[in-house]
Amino acid sequence: MKRNQSKTTVLFAAFCLSLMLCTFASASETPPAEAAQEATEEAKPKLTVSLELGEVTYKHYCTPCHGMKGDGTGFNAGSLLVKPANHTDAKFMSERNDAKLFDTINLGGVEVAKSTLMPPWGATLGDEKIKSVVLYLRELCQCKATKSW
Ligand code: HEC
């Protein structure tokens, strides 16, 4: 019985010591509020509109339907009832100005009276990435807009 009691005391003391050490260790770390701020700043790097960002974004999100070359022949294209647009078609693309392309990507096909099979990307990508993708679309079609919308 006595041995058991002293064992319990030793265990209890060890437990207290580890608690103290933990409290001490966490107190010396960055305060949680600051740490949280650092984390969000890291997770949200400041984006700038660029062709490079557009290309990376396009290749990640758009190629499954529009194809690696942007010609509308992605691996999903065959199973869609409406064919994905061919972004290398200069005539087709020049009939859409940058604002219209932005709206199409941001809000989806349905917002520009096109198929709902073209999804809305606003919530996933945000303005900078969409503007960058528009730059990349102009690179793919090697064309400028000839219409006002
Ligand atoms: C799930 C397949 C799918 C994905 C992924 C997709 N699209 Fe589309 N997209 C379509 C389809 C289908 C159409 C044709 C819609 C129509 O003609 O009604 C289309 C059409 C378009 C058009 C032409 C709309 C017009 O004015 O006629 C643009 C521009 C476009 N997509 C851009 C993009 C961009 C940029 C991405 C990536 C951020 C993307 N799409 C991702 C399926 C997709």
Cα of 118 from ligand 1 centre, angstroms = 4
Provide the percentage of residues in the chain whose pLDDT is more than 90.
Answer: 66
CB atoms within 10 A of CB 28: 7
Q: Is the Cβ atom of 96 under 6 angstroms away from ligand 1? A: yes
Task: Say if CB 138 and CB 122 are below 8 A apart.
Answer: no
Give residue 26's pLDDT.
53
- Which band of pLDDT confidence, cut at 50, 70 and 90, is reported for residue 9? low
Please report the pLDDT score of residue 147 as a whole number: 81
pTM: 0.76
Pocket test of ligand 1: the residue of 75, 118, 127, 149 to mutate, having most ligand atoms within 8 Å of its CB, is 118
pLDDT of residue 11: 65
pLDDT value for 110:
95
CB 97 within 8 A of CB 147: yes
- What 58-66 contacts at long range (C-beta under 8 Å, 24+ apart), as own/partner pairs, is 58/133, 58/136, 58/137, 61/121, 61/124, 61/125, 62/133, 65/117, 65/118
pLDDT above 70 covers what percent of the chain? 70
- Per-residue model confidence as pLDDT tens digits over 14-34: 664 566 655 555 555 555 666
Residue 142: φ, ψ to 5°: 50, 45
Name the CATH architecture for the domain at 51-141.
Answer: Orthogonal Bundle (1.10)
Whole-number Å distance, alpha carbon 116 to ligand 1 midpoint, is 9
Q: What are the sequence ranges of the domains in the chain?
A: 2-43, 51-141
Cα dist. 72→75, 89, 118, 130, 141 in Å? 9, 10, 12, 19, 12
CB 72 within 8 A of CB 63: no
Confidence of residue 49 (pLDDT cuts 50, 70, 90): very high
